[in-house]
Amino acid sequence: MLWPFDYQGVTLRDSRWQKQAVAGRDFYMSLSNDDVLNGFRVAAGVNAPGKPLGGWAARDSYTVFGQWLQAMARMQRANGDRDMLEKASLWVSEWGKVWQPGQGRMGHYPYEKLAGGLLDMHHYGGHSEALALLQKITEYAAANLNRDRLPANRQPWELHSGRPLEWYTVGENLYRAYQITGQSAYKDFADVWQYHAYWDKFLETAEPATASGVHAYSHVNSFSSAALAYDVTGDPQYLKIMKNMYDFLQNKQCYATGGYGPIERIMPDDGALGESLAQRVDSFEAPCCSWAGFKLAKYLMMFTGEARYGDWIEKLLYNGIGAALPIVTGGKHFYYANYHLGAAMKTYSRNMFTCCSGTYFQNITEYQNLVYFKDNRGLYVNLYLPSEVEWKAGAATIKIAQTTDYPEAQTSSLKFTLDRPQLFDLKLRVPSWSQGMRIDINGAAQNIAAKSGMWATITRTWQTGDQVDIMIPLHFRRAPIDRQHPHRVALVRGPVVYAQEVVHKALSVIPESDEELDKLMKPLDKDPAVFLIGNEEPVEQRDAFMPYYRYPEVTNYRLYHDSEMRRMLW
């Protein structure tokens, strides 16, 4: 069993992703308290200063209120952010003053999100009223929520998320409430929402024949409830279905970015994923689906100790939520990532404050909880991200500072500071795509097994001044979209998908082998993380390939390329 650091002891250092988290924090802190609370107060018939937030929160902010509270509780714990804790505490107290049973939109979806937010304001924020409020809304929900629990189906359209809407995600935070409080009523209510009609499709196989056509985000998210059911009961069938679902997603559903769910659906294994690139621009519900992916991969890494689950976390960090446009004034935010085959661009959602404004906040808060894991023997480095981690092992207090420009550079360095020497394991995730990872200690090369998809383990007595240097070779490779479209490929370097800026209609000539591709991709002198195909003349260097996460709003790019189409055109 591995444990994340639970939002303590890990600090992000300067990087694109640290800046994204800080900017997100600043946006949510800028929200008017009265605007956030306006709809709740209006419904209660009391004085309601401020104005509605607008968009999906035009009536009230129930769609996202609980997610915001959860993110705020966790982020303030991670960073010691007293201003954020004060703001979140005010929201909870003021909401608690006006909520009464039967008042407000307390259906399955907002109840589940609010339960998580109140639980974390109690657990991480120490809010004196949050636990009583959680009990209050749970008593109401247990007595009043519709229990039809119709499974999702591809037909009719209204059943894509089941009926009632997304009822099958309710269990996760209730199981967590049981673990934190010991109150069996939470477990009993969580058991009501188990989703065996879908989960059991994965009990014996990672290739179920009837899993497609349903809402992608919420169905992947439902496996976090299966994860907590496993954690609470120890029943191995839950772990089995989680592992099979993960393999199903990686083998049949995911783009090279780690994203999934075009048209917000799980795709049949008949080439539909590849065809969607030519037909749709709503390729991937980036904030919500990243959140579900982060959680499923994290739980699997915790329960199994296997390094391979970190690959999806890494992909989603760099190409999923980490490539999203920032949330900005007025609640304008990113929703769909666009991978359209001919040309695509990043754009903001036409609606303000949708569900993705809730999961965006949760995602950027979770970054700090995904970099390192630990067990009783030592530290696991899951992500090569500029950061610091501090913890106690035995009698020693240990601090490690990670310095890196990965994934644009091939190296990362870990610098150790200890108040006394300490024996422990250091385990480094070897990405499944990598070959030839090298490890030096204090400048000396080490003969350490670094098998792809595994942990490279170093056991020694560490002391202040020790330094571990890691080199992970980065090469370009082709990533076909699915088996039915072997020539419809993305170009990937390490964990990062590269997109080509589109300035003309002609397609680039994409070599037919990874070896040839890697030889032909030439870095620009002024920016070695940007590449041109060496046998093409640049058009004012605008046809370059650069990391997808670098593309700003409304800039044309081509993320997938079809070499068969190229041959037909020429």
Backbone φ and ψ for 410, nearest 5 degrees, come out as -95, 0
Average pLDDT over residues 312-324: 98
The pLDDT value recorded for residue 569 is 37
Distances, alpha carbon 296 to alpha carbons 17, 180, 207, 235, 289, in Å: 21, 20, 18, 17, 11
Q: Which residues contact 219 (CB under 8 A, 6 or more apart)?
A: 152, 168, 198, 266
Which string of DSSP letters, residue by residue, matches 50-92? S---BTTBSS-SHHHHHHHHHHHHHHHHHHT-HHHHHHHHHHH
Q: Tell if the pTM clears 0.85, that is, is over it.
A: yes
Average pLDDT over residues 531-536: 75
Average pLDDT over residues 425-448: 98
Q: Which helix (H) or strand (E) holds 19?
A: helix 16-30
Average pLDDT over residues 285-310: 98
Secondary structure of residue 381 in the 3-state scheme: strand
Residue 427, pLDDT > 80, answer: yes
Each residue's pLDDT tens digit, 182-199: 999 999 999 999 999 999
Residue 70, pLDDT > 60, answer: yes
Average per-residue pLDDT in the chain?
95
pLDDT-derived band at 502 (thresholds 50, 70, 90) equals: confident
Distances, alpha carbon 520 to alpha carbons 348, 410, 411, 513, 547, in Å: 35, 19, 22, 11, 17
Q: Position of tokens 């009837």?
A: 210
Dihedral over Cα of 56, 60, 62, 64: its sign: positive
The pLDDT value recorded for residue 540 is 45
Q: Position of tokens 């610091």?
A: 388
Which residues is 490 bridged to in the sheet? 479, 560
Residue 541, pLDDT > 60, answer: no
Each residue's pLDDT tens digit, 331-351: 999 999 999 998 999 999 999
pLDDT-derived band at 105 (thresholds 50, 70, 90) equals: confident
Q: Position of tokens 């076909």?
A: 480
- How would you class 234 by CB atoms within 10 Å of its CB: exposed for 0-12, middle for 13-18, buried for 19 or more? exposed
Each residue's pLDDT tens digit, 266-277: 999 999 999 999
**Neighbour-count burial for 117-132, b at 16+ CB within 10 Å, e otherwise:** bbbbbbbbbebebbbe
- How would you class 145 by CB atoms within 10 Å of its CB: exposed for 0-12, middle for 13-18, buried for 19 or more? buried
Average pLDDT over residues 50-76: 97
Residue 508, pLDDT > 70, answer: no
Average pLDDT over residues 466-493: 97
Secondary structure of residue 151 in the 3-state scheme: coil
The pLDDT value recorded for residue 509 is 75
CA distance 544 to 557: 10
Which residues is 546 bridged to in the sheet? 499
Structural contact between residues 510 and 564, judged by C-beta atoms closer than 8 angstroms: no
The pLDDT value recorded for residue 234 is 98
Least trusted range by pLDDT, from 114-128, 146-160, 445-459, 497-511: 497-511
> What is the percent of the chain where pLDDT is above 90?
92
Residue 565, pLDDT > 80, answer: no
Average pLDDT over residues 242-255: 98
pLDDT-derived band at 511 (thresholds 50, 70, 90) equals: confident
**Strands 378-381 and 422-429, sheet pairing:** parallel
The pLDDT value recorded for residue 136 is 96
Average pLDDT over residues 118-146: 97
Each residue's pLDDT tens digit, 372-421: 999 999 999 999 999 999 999 989 999 999 999 999 999 999 999 999 99
